[in-house]
Amino acid sequence: MGRLFLACFAVVACSALAAAQSPQATNFSDDVENGHHLAALICSNCHVAGPDQLVEPIPRPPAPSFESIARRSTTSFDTIRTFLATTHRDISNPAGMPNPELLDFQVRQVAAYLLSLRKPSAASPGREPDAVRGRIVPR
C-alpha cells in the first residue's frame, strides 16, 4: 500500500512539474511584455496601443486607444477575450473592427498588456490587476 501511494505521489509530482514548465504557464509580466509586442505589431494599425508607439494609426479618427479601453469600468479579462474572438465587421457594419484571429495565449497576452495600462489604485500598489485573474473590477 505504501509503494502504491509513493508511486501515485511521484506521478502527480511529475505532472505538476511538467505543467509548471510548459509554455502555457507564464507569469503576468511575461504576458504583459508579449502582449505589448503583439499590440505594437497588430493593433497599432488602428489603435494607439501604447505611449511608445512610433506611428500614427491609419483610420481617421483612430479606434479607441488602449489606455481609454483599459479605463472603462466594463473592461475585464473576460470582456477583452470575448471582444477579440468576435467579428465586428460585416455588411451592416463595414467599418467595424476585424477579427484579429489571435490564438488563446495571444488573447491572454494582449489582455494582460491592455489591463496593465489601467492606472493602479492607491489601495493595491504592485498587485496584478484583478481583471487579469478573471474578476471584474468595479470602478
What is the domain-level CATH number for residue 121? 1.10.760
Is the residue at 16 inside a domain? no
131 against 91, higher pLDDT: 91
Is the residue at 33 inside a domain? yes
- Whether residue 34 is predicted with pLDDT greater than 70 in this model: the reply is yes
Is the residue at 139 inside a domain? no
What is the distance between the alpha carbons of residues 62 and 39, in angstroms, rounded to a whole number?
15
Is the residue at 39 inside a domain? yes
Total structural domains within the chain: 1
What is the distance between the alpha carbons of residues 109 and 37, in angstroms, rounded to a whole number?
9
- Whether residue 124 is predicted with pLDDT greater than 50 in this model: the reply is no
Query: Which pLDDT value is given to residue 88?
Result: 78
How many Cα atoms sit within 13 Å of 48 on the Cβ side? Answer: 13
Is the residue at 8 inside a domain? no
Is the residue at 6 inside a domain? no
Q: What percent of the chain clears pLDDT 70, i.e. is strictly above it?
A: 66
Overall pTM > 0.85: no
Q: What is the DSSP letter of 93?
A: B
Is the residue at 106 inside a domain? yes
Q: Which range marks the domain in which residue 118 is found? A: 27-133
- Which residue bears the cell 491592455? 114
